[in-house]
Amino acid sequence: MNRNLSIPKPQIDVEQILNSTVRMIRSTWKTKVCIYIHQDDQGLLKIRAWDGLSKAPPASFKIMPGNGILWKCMETNRLMESGQYPWEPELVGLLDSKANPHGMKYVVVPVSGQSKVLGAMIVGPFDKNFDTTITENDFRCSGALCAVLAAYVRLYDWTQNFVPQMNHELRTPLTAVQGSLGMLIGGMFGKMDGEVSSMLQMAHKGCERTVSAIETFLVKQQDKMPKP
């Protein structure tokens, strides 16, 4: 059942870490713009982190197979330079103002996992004579760093939701079981003979051990989880 979770806000803004990383990459390459785009399980492209854009990009967009540079880059797992193919419509407005007519170029870097392309990173603009082939591995490493961090953020978010939800789902039925046993043992419905009473107490003790296990494995382990 869907319930409204009132999950405590993490003390650390994990998204900020990803944005800071993108800013560092941009700064390392001495460029104005860096964007990290991640493809989710449904094929939707999400702009996970960006820096240097004059306006906020769309949160996500669907990439269409065709001649767009992002599609080509991810399809072929090859590093591309702006001008080789047209920008996807969603990127035109974002990067046009930063591009300049004097031959500056952006680099579109595929971000690859072990078995598939996970997304892309756009860095630039660079001077038109900048030889991207020499630094291709460095570009790919920068993209991989973003991908690793994005995966960690996803994992962190998942555990932040999963642990409280599991805690709730386990404790709720236990409340009814322990509550019923507690009322019987407490004599709310009359006195029970010794054997029945000891059986119920055993079941009640089992509930308490389960609650203790939930505390140990879910709640305390969550506290020990390393923060990004």
Partner 1 sequence: MAKVLAVEDDSDIQIVLKMVLTRLGKCEVVLSGEGTPVVDLAREHQPAFILLDVMLPDMSGTEVIQRLKADPATKDIPVIFLTARSIPSEAQEALSLGALGYLAKPFEPMALVPQINALLSKVGNAITIGV
Stretch that binds partner 1, among 50-58, 79-87, 122-130, 169-177 (CB under 8 A): 169-177
Asked if 153 is part of the footprint of partner 1 (rule: CB under 8 A), the reply reads: no
Terminal Cα distance for the chain, rounded: 30
Does 3 participate in binding partner 1 (rule CB under 8 A)?
Answer: yes
Q: Of 56, 59, 134, 176, which one interacts with partner 1 (CB under 8 A)?
A: 176
Our finding on whether 211 is near partner 1 (CB under 8 A) is: yes
Among 100, 175, 198, 221, binds partner 1 (CB under 8 A): 175
**Is the CB of 138 or the CB of 215 nearer to partner 1?**
215
Q: Contact region for partner 1 (CB under 8 A) — 63-71, 145-153, 172-180, 195-203?
A: 172-180
Q: Which residue type does 35 have?
A: I
Between 65 and 226, CB nearer to partner 1: 226
CA 162 to chain centre: 14
Examine residue 199 and tell whether it contacts partner 1 (CB under 8 A): no
User: What is the number of other CB atoms lying within 10 angstroms of the CB of residue 65?
Assistant: 8
- Output the six-digit token pair for 19: 């944005």
> Total residues at the site for partner 1 (CB under 8 A)?
29
Residue from 164, 192, 203, 206 binding partner 1 (CB under 8 A): 164
Left, alpha or beta for 43 (phi > 0: left; psi -120 to 50: alpha)? left
In the chain, the amino acid numbered 82 is S
Check binding of 177 to partner 1 (CB under 8 A): yes
Supply the minimum distance, in Å, between the C-beta of residue 158 and partner 1.
17
Examine residue 200 and tell whether it contacts partner 1 (CB under 8 A).
Answer: no
Q: For residues 228 and 224, what is the distance between their CA atoms, to the nearest angstrom?
A: 12
Q: How far is the CB of 173 from partner 1 (least distance, A)?
A: 7
Contact flag: residue 219 with partner 1 (CB under 8 A): yes
Dig out the tokens for 128 from the structure: 């038109």
One-character DSSP codes across 121-178: EEEEEE-TT--TTTTHHHHHHHHHHHHHHHHHHHHHHHHHHHHHHHHHHHHHHHHHHH
Shortest Å distance, C-beta 226 to partner 1: 18
In this structure, the dihedral spanned by the alpha carbons of residues 84, 86, 88 and 93, taken in order and rounded to 10 degrees, is 120
DSSP 86: P
Chain residues that interact with partner 1, rule: CB under 8 A: 1-6, 8, 164, 167-168, 171-180, 182-183, 185-186, 188, 207, 211, 215, 219
